[in-house]
Amino acid sequence: MTDDVTIISSSPLLEHDSQYMNIILLRTIGKKLQKKEAKKNDVEVERVTRSYPVKKGVKIDVDSILATTRKVTRSGTVSKDHVIAKIPGLERVELWGEGKVLMCETTTEKNPENYETAIKKFNELIEALTGYSAKERKKIASKVPK
């Protein structure tokens, strides 16, 4: 990036257009700086833990979670009463039951290639485990007082 820039304009509105070009230049520099900052942050992975309500009659014991997870994601192992699975776009999905609630901890990949597919597969997994669709889960979550 250079500090010394010369822009020549043949516009009939020199003052107005020079201010406008300056704004465009500053926006472009700002976007480049944001991209550099985003690349620095790409190294960090995001780990999120959430809880999901489970419909009556849906089992959330380790064996049931493992069977459903393997059916949906074609992966799944058990470690200390937690089921660990892999979904493309998510580095790790850890699932376990606590009472009538399904707990889920996700770790994102550093550079997921197809994030939308990962979200669809994750929602499919959570729906299969809880009995609630994403729309129903959103509705339930909106009723919970903050």
Which class for 9: exposed (0-12), middle (13-18), buried (19 or more C-beta within 10 A)? exposed
One-letter amino acid identity for 126? Answer: I
Q: Which helix (H) or strand (E) holds 48?
A: strand 47-53
pLDDT number for residue 116: 82
pLDDT number for residue 2: 52
Mean pLDDT by 10 residues, the chain (146 residues): 69 79 80 71 71 91 94 92 90 91 87 78 94 87 68
pLDDT number for residue 61: 93
pLDDT number for residue 72: 93
Half-sphere exposure of 48 (CA within 13 A, CB side): 7
Question: Where are the chain's structural domains?
Answer: 1-41, 47-143
Helix (H, G, I), strand (E, B) or coil at 47: strand
Domain 47-143: state its class: alpha beta
Among 130, 40, 43, 122, smallest CA distance to 87 is for 122
State how far the Cα of 29 lies from the Cα of 36, in Å rounded to an integer.
Answer: 11
| CB 98, CB 130: distance < 8 Å | no
pLDDT number for residue 77: 93
